C-alpha cells in the first residue's frame, strides 16, 4: 500500500511575493527543508509515494490561488491551512508566542495568561487536524514540528488511531516547576497532545527528561527513562540534537561571493579585533547581557579601546508582539548610549545592524571575525553557533557560547559562559582575542568533527529510524485487553481441555497492593474462587509468588493449591511438601546488599527492607512517588554495579527492587511445573516485571493463555486492568467448568 509522508509546521516553507503586478512563490531555504529534502533522497525517504508539507501559507486564500499554479513543487506537495486572521493572531502571537515561548524559555513573568489565547490555540490545532485528516490514511507517516502544534498529535491520533506520528520540539522543554505555573487544563492539553505521537523528540536529554517528569507529575504516568505508557501505547521521548548542512557552510568559505564579502569586512576591520553576533530580536537571546559583558571587557582592558569592533546584527522578529517591540526600543537606546559613552569621534565600539543579511554577508562575517559571541539566556539548540564553527574552513576563530544553549552540550570546546555572569563574558572575550592560532585550530577542528558527523541529514534519518523502531516495538508489545471474544475463546479452551495448569501470581494479581506486605491477606472471595478451581481434579492450581514460603503457607496452605515461593526458590505441589529448588547458597552477599539497601531506607522515608529466605527486597510503595522512583533508579544502578560478576540477579519489580540468587525466576519455575503433567490448557496471570519471565517461557507453549494485570505493555498475550477483573475471570472459569462439564 502506498505510504505518504506529511511534514507539518506552523508556516509553509514558502515565500509569496508581489512582483510586477503578480504574485511569485518561491521555496524558502532553512534547516528543516534541507534536512527533509536530503532525507527524501536517501534510501529510507524513497519509500514514500508523496511528501506533503502542511502549514499556514502566510497569505489569503485568494492570493494563494493566484500565486500557486500547482501545489506540487519540487519534492513537495503543499497543503495550505487557512486560519481566520483573529484566530491566527491569538494562536500565533497569543498562545504560541506569549505563553509557550516565554514559559518554555524560563521567562514566566512574560507569560500572558489569557484564556482566549488558549481557546484559539486549541481551535487552530483542531483546524489543522481537520484539514489533515481529510488527506491522511492510517498507513501514512506524520512529522509535526514545534511549539505551535503541541496538541496536534493527540488530535490526529483520536481521528486516525493507527497513524505513525513523530513530534519534534525545537525549543527547550522546561522543568516541572516552570511547567506547573500554567493552568492545569493547559498543562494537560499540551502533554496529552504530545503523547499522541509515537516518538517525541527534543534537542537534549535534559529536555526529554523534563517532559517525562511533567507527564509523570501531571498525568500520573510512569516511565522507564525513555518509554512512557499512554492510552494503550508505548511512547518514546528521546534527544535528537538538530544540526546543520556542514558541507554547505564549510564549502561556502571558498565561494567567490563569500570571499569578496569577507575581504570587504576585513578591510573595515583593519588591524582591530572583531567580535560578531547575529540573532533574531528576542529577549531569550541575551543581547543586553552580551553588551554588558562587552562593556565590562572594555572597562577592565582599556588597552583594547579603539582596537576592537563588535558587529552586532539583530534580525527583525515578531515585532507585532509588545514584548518584542519594547526590546527593540531598549536595544536601540542601549547601543546609542553605549557608543556615545565608550566611543569617540574616530571609533564606535558597536557596529549595529537591524535587518536581514544575505547568505554571503552572513558567511562573510562568520569567516572574517575573530570571536563569535553567542550568549542566549535560553536556547533550544542555537544553529548560529554550529554554522559559525562549520564555516571556518581556515580552522581559525573562537566561539564563546552560553551554557544555556542546547548546542553547548555538543560544542564543548567552545569557551562556555554563563550569560548572567558579566565578568565571565568579559574574561572570555579577552581569552578569545588572545588565544594562540594553534589552540583555535584544535578547538574548531574538534567541533567540526562532531558537526560533520552528526549533520542535519543524520538528524532526520536518526529521527525516522527511531520512529519506525518505536512503531514496531508497539506492535510487538501491543496491549490486547481480554475482550469478550477472547474471553469466550479462553472459556471454550478451558471447557474442552482434560488437564489444566493455572499459574497465578499473588500480590497485584489476586489481591491489590496493601501499604505493608503483611497486610495483603487474601479475602474471602479470593479464597472461595481458588477453592472452586482447585477442588476440580482436572486443575493444577499454583500460586507463583515472590513471597516467602511461610507467608504463603499461612495464607493459602489450607487450600489444595501448589505454592511457589520466592520466585521459584522453593516449591510445594498440592499434595506434597516444600522442596528447595537450589542447593544451600552462599549467604555472604547478604550483609553487603542489606547495608546498601539500608542506606536507601535512610534516604527515602517510608521505604523498607523485606527479608526473605533467598532474597532481599527494598520496597518503596509507601514512599513519596517522585523521590521513591528517583531513589529506586539510583539503587538499581548501584546494585547492578555491585553484583556484577556475582551469581545474583537484581529485579526491578512493581515498587520493589529485589536481589536474589541467579537462576531463580518465575520462568524457571513455570518450566518445572510444565514437566509435572501433560497439560492441554495453561493459564498464567501476573502483574509484575518478574512475571514477564513466566510469560516469556509460556509464549512458546501452544494454547497457553498469559494475562498481564495493568495497562503496561508485556510479553503476555492479554491484559486485564485490575485484580478485581482477575477475580471475576477466575470466578467465571470456576462456574463455567462446573456448569459445562460437571467437573
The least CB distance from residue 493 to ligand GDG, in Å, is 54
378 lies in the site for ligand GDG, by CB under 6 A: no
379 lies in the site for ligand GDG, by CB under 6 A: yes
Choosing from 94, 196, 380, 508, the residue that interacts with ligand GDG (CB under 6 A) is 380
Choice between 402 and 690, CB closer to ligand GDG: 402
Residue with cell 486572521: 85
Choice between 23 and 253, CB closer to ligand GDG: 253
Choice between 23 and 359, CB closer to ligand GDG: 359
Choice between 268 and 476, CB closer to ligand GDG: 268
Distance CA 437, CA 352 (A): 28
304 lies in the site for ligand GDG, by CB under 6 A: no
Choice between 387 and 505, CB closer to ligand GDG: 387
The least CB distance from residue 714 to ligand GDG, in Å, is 36
Choice between 173 and 618, CB closer to ligand GDG: 173
381 lies in the site for ligand GDG, by CB under 6 A: yes
387 lies in the site for ligand GDG, by CB under 6 A: yes
Stretch touching ligand GDG by CB under 6 A, among 147-155, 374-382, 418-426, 676-684? 374-382
- DSSP one-letter string for 20-49: TTEEEEEEPP-HHHHHHHHHHTSTTGGG-S
Choice between 31 and 80, CB closer to ligand GDG: 31
Stretch touching ligand GDG by CB under 6 A, among 193-201, 292-300, 380-388, 721-729? 380-388
Residue count, binding to ligand GDG (CB under 6 A): 18
Here the contacts of 560-566 (C-beta below 8 Å, separation 24 or greater) are: 560/534, 560/535, 561/530, 561/534, 562/673, 564/666, 564/669, 564/673, 565/613, 566/612, 566/613, 566/614, 566/615, 566/660, 566/664
Residue with cell 559562559: 417
The answer to whether 409 and 204 are in contact (CB under 8 A) is yes
Stretch touching ligand GDG by CB under 6 A, among 356-364, 519-527, 560-568, 699-707? 356-364
The least CB distance from residue 363 to ligand GDG, in Å, is 9
The least CB distance from residue 367 to ligand GDG, in Å, is 13
The least CB distance from residue 608 to ligand GDG, in Å, is 46
The least CB distance from residue 352 to ligand GDG, in Å, is 13
The least CB distance from residue 120 to ligand GDG, in Å, is 22
Stretch touching ligand GDG by CB under 6 A, among 158-166, 351-359, 454-462, 590-598? 351-359
The least CB distance from residue 279 to ligand GDG, in Å, is 6
362 lies in the site for ligand GDG, by CB under 6 A: yes
Choice between 241 and 349, CB closer to ligand GDG: 241
Choosing from 383, 470, 552, 683, the residue that interacts with ligand GDG (CB under 6 A) is 383
Distance CA 149, CA 133 (A): 15
Cα-Cα-Cα-Cα torsion 136, 137, 141, 147, nearest 10 degrees, comes to 40
Stretch touching ligand GDG by CB under 6 A, among 375-383, 423-431, 516-524, 566-574? 375-383
| Dihedrals phi, psi of 136, to nearest 5 degrees | -85, 150
Distance CA 718, CA 700 (A): 15
Distance CA 650, CA 382 (A): 42
- Strand order from edge to edge, sheet including 273-280: 350-354, 308-315, 273-280, 371-374, 398-402, 415-417
Stretch touching ligand GDG by CB under 6 A, among 174-182, 383-391, 539-547, 620-628? 383-391
Q: How far is CA 598 from the centre of its chain?
A: 33
149 lies in the site for ligand GDG, by CB under 6 A: no
- DSSP one-letter string for 137-158: -TT-EEEEESGGGTTHHHHHHH
| Known catalytic membership, residue 505 | yes
359 lies in the site for ligand GDG, by CB under 6 A: yes
Choosing from 259, 315, 638, 646, the residue that interacts with ligand GDG (CB under 6 A) is 315
287 lies in the site for ligand GDG, by CB under 6 A: no
The least CB distance from residue 465 to ligand GDG, in Å, is 19
Distance CA 236, CA 229 (A): 9
Choice between 380 and 723, CB closer to ligand GDG: 380
Element (H, E) at 78: strand 76-80
CA-wise closest residue to 343 among 368, 370, 307: 307
Stretch touching ligand GDG by CB under 6 A, among 51-59, 107-115, 229-237, 353-361? 353-361
The least CB distance from residue 179 to ligand GDG, in Å, is 18
Please return the burial class of 329, using the count of CB atoms within 10 Å of its CB with bins 0-12, 13-18 and 19+: exposed
Which whole-number Å values give the CA distances from 45 to 39, 49, 105, 236, 453, in the listed order? Answer: 5, 10, 33, 22, 20
Choice between 457 and 474, CB closer to ligand GDG: 457
Choice between 170 and 233, CB closer to ligand GDG: 170
The least CB distance from residue 287 to ligand GDG, in Å, is 13
Which residues, numbered 19-38, are part of the site for ligand GDG (CB under 6 A)?
Answer: 31
Choosing from 99, 214, 384, 704, the residue that interacts with ligand GDG (CB under 6 A) is 384
Q: Where are the alpha helices (DSSP H) in 169-304?
A: 176-179, 184-194, 205-219, 246-252, 256-269, 287-300
- DSSP one-letter string for 541-590: EEEE-SS-HHHHHHHHTTSS-EEEEGGGTEEE-TTS-EEESS-----THH
Element (H, E) at 79: strand 76-80
Choosing from 171, 275, 399, 670, the residue that interacts with ligand GDG (CB under 6 A) is 171
307 lies in the site for ligand GDG, by CB under 6 A: no
Which residues, numbered 223-262, are part of the site for ligand GDG (CB under 6 A)?
Answer: 242
Please return the burial class of 603, using the count of CB atoms within 10 Å of its CB with bins 0-12, 13-18 and 19+: middle
Catalytic residue among 198, 505, 548, 693: 505
The least CB distance from residue 171 to ligand GDG, in Å, is 5
Choice between 151 and 406, CB closer to ligand GDG: 406
Site track for ligand GDG across 682-721, x = CB under 6 A: ----------------------------------------
The answer to whether 166 and 467 are in contact (CB under 8 A) is yes
540 lies in the site for ligand GDG, by CB under 6 A: no
Which residues, numbered 596-625, are part of the site for ligand GDG (CB under 6 A)?
Answer: none
Q: How far is CA 285 from the centre of its chain?
A: 25
DSSP tally for the chain: helices H, then strands E: 26, 29
Which residues, numbered 72-91, are part of the site for ligand GDG (CB under 6 A)?
Answer: none
Going by C-beta distance under 8 Å and a sequence separation of 6 or more, which residues neighbour residue 171?
100, 101, 104, 105, 146, 147, 380
The answer to whether 652 and 693 are in contact (CB under 8 A) is no
Choice between 18 and 280, CB closer to ligand GDG: 280
C-alpha dihedral sign at 402, 404, 408, 413:
positive
The least CB distance from residue 627 to ligand GDG, in Å, is 32
Distance CA 667, CA 693 (A): 4
Distance CA 518, CA 551 (A): 8
Applying CB under 6 A, the residues found at the interface with ligand GDG are 31, 170-171, 242, 278, 280, 315, 356-357, 359, 362, 379-384, 387
Active site residues: 505
Amino acid at each position: 500500500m502506498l505510504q505518504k509522508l506529511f511534514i507539518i509546521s506552523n508556516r509553509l516553507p514558502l515565500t509569496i511575493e508581489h512582483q510586477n503586478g503578480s504574485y511569485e512563490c518561491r521555496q524558502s531555504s532553512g534547516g528543516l527543508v534541507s534536512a527533509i529534502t536530503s532525507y527524501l533522497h536517501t534510501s529510507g525517504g524513497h519509500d514514500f509515494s508523496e511528501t506533503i508539507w502542511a502549514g499556514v501559507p502566510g497569505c489569503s486564500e485568494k492570493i494563494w490561488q493566484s500565486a500557486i499554479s500547482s501545489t506540487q513543487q519540487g519534492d513537495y506537495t503543499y497543503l495550505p491551512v487557512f486560519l481566520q486572521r483573529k484566530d491566527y493572531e491569538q494562536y500565533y502571537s497569543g498562545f504560541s508566542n506569549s505563553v509557550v515561548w516565554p514559559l518554555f524559555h524560563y521567562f514566566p513573568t512574560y507569560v500572558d495568561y489569557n484564556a482566549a489565547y488558549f481557546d484559539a490555540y486549541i481551535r487552530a490545532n483542531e483546524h489543522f487536524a481537520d484539514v489533515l485528516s481529510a488527506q491522511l490514511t492510517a498507513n501514512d507517516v506524520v512529522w509535526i514540528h514545534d511549539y505551535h502544534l503541541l496538541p496536534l498529535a493527540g488530535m490526529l491520533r483520536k481521528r486516525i488511531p493507527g497513524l505513525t506520528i513523530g513530534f519534534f520540539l525545537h525549543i527547550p522543554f522546561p522543568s516541572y516547576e516552570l511547567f506547573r505555573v500554567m493552568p492545569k487544563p493547559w498543562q494537560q492539553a499540551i502533554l496529552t497532545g504530545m503523547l499522541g505521537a509515537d516518538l517525541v523528540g527534543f534537542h537534549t536529554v535534559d529536555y526529554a527528561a523534563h517532559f517525562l517528569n511533567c507527564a509523570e507529575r501531571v498525568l500520573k504516568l510512569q516511565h522507564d527513562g525513555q518509554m512512557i505508557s499512554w492510552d494503550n501505547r508505548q511512547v518514546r521521548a528521546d534527544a535528537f540534537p538538530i544540526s546543520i548542512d556542514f558541507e554547505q557552510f564549510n564549502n561556502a568559505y571558498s565561494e567567490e561571493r563569500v570571499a569578496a564579502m569577507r575581504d570587504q569586512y576585513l578591510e573595515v576591520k583593519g588591524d582591530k579585533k572583531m567580535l560578531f553576533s547575529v540573532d533574531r530580536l528576542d529577549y531569550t537571546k541575551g543581547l543586553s547581557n552580551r553588551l554588558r559583558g562587552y562593556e565590562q571587557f572594555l572597562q577592565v582592558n582599556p588597552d583594547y579601546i579603539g582596537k576592537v569592533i563588535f558587529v552586532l546584527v539583530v534580525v527583525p522578529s515578531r515585532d507585532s508582539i509588545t514584548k518584542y517591540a519594547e526590546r527593540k526600543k531598549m536595544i536601540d537606546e542601549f547601543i546609542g548610549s553605549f557608543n556615545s559613552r565608550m566611543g569617540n569621534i574616530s571609533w564606535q565600539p558597536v557596529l549595529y545592524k537591524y535587518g536581514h543579511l544575505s547568505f554571503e554577508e552572513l558567511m562573510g562575517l562568520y569567516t572574517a571575525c575573530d570571536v563569535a559571541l553567542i550568549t542566549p539566556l535560553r536556547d533550544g539548540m542555537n544553529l548560529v553557533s554550529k554554522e559559525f564553527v562549520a564555516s571556518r574552513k581556515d580552522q581559525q576563530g573562537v566561539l564563546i557560547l552560553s551554557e544555556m544553549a542546547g548546542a553547548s552540550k555538543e560544542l564543548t570546546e567552545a569557551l562556555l559562559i554563563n550569560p548572567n555572569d558579566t565578568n565571565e563574558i568579559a574574561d572570555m572575550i579577552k581569552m578569545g582575542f588572545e588565544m594562540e592560532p594553534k589552540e583555535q585550530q584544535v578547538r574548531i577542528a574538534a567541533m567540526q568533527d562532531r558537526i560533520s558527523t552528526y549533520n542535519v541529514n543524520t538528524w532526520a534519518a536518526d529521527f525516522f529510524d527511531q520512529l519506525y523502531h518505536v512503531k514496531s516495538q508497539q506492535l510487538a508489545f501491543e496491549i490486547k485487553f481480554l475482550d469478550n471474544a477472547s474471553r469466550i475463546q479462553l472459556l471454550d479452551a478451558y471447557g474442552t481441555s482434560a488437564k489444566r495448569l493455572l499459574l497465578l501470581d499473588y500480590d497485584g494479581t489476586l489481591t491489590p497492593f496493601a501499604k505493608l506486605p503483611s497486610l495483603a491477606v487474601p479475602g474471602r472471595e479470593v479464597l472461595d474462587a481458588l477453592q472452586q478451581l482447585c477442588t476440580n481434579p482436572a486443575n493444577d492450581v499454583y500460586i507463583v509468588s515472590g513471597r516467602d514460603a511461610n507467608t504463603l503457607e499461612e495464607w493459602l496452605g489450607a487450600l489444595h493449591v501448589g505454592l511457589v515461593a520466592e520466585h521459584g526458590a522453593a516449591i510445594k505441589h498440592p499434595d506434597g511438601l516444600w522442596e528447595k529448588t537450589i542447593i544451600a547458597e552462599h549467604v555472604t552477599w547478604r550483609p553487603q546488599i542489606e547495608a546498601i539497601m539500608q542506606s536507601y531506607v535512610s534516604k527515602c522515608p517510608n521505604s523498607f527492607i523485606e527479608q526473605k529466605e533467598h532474597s532481599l527486597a527494598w520496597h518503596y510503595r509507601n514512599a513519596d512517588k517522585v523521590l521513591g522512583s528517583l531513589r529506586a533508579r539510583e539503587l538499581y544502578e548501584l546494585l547492578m554495579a555491585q553484583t556484577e560478576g556475582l551469581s545474583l540477579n537484581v529485579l526491578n519489580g512493581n515498587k520493589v527492587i529485589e536481589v536474589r540468587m541467579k537462576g531463580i525466576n518465575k520462568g524457571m519455575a513455570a518450566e518445572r511445573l510444565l514437566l509435572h503433567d501433560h497439560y492441554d490448557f495453561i493459564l498464567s496471570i501476573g502483574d509484575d516485571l518478574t512475571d514477564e519471565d513466566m510469560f516469556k517461557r509460556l509464549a512458546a507453549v501452544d494454547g497457553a493463555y498469559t494475562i498481564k494485570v495493568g495497562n503496561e505493555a508485556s510479553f503476555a498475550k492479554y491484559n486485564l486492568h485490575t485484580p478485581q477483573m482477575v477475580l471475576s475471570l477466575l470466578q467465571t472459569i470456576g462456574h463455567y467448568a462446573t456448569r459445562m462439564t460437571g467437573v
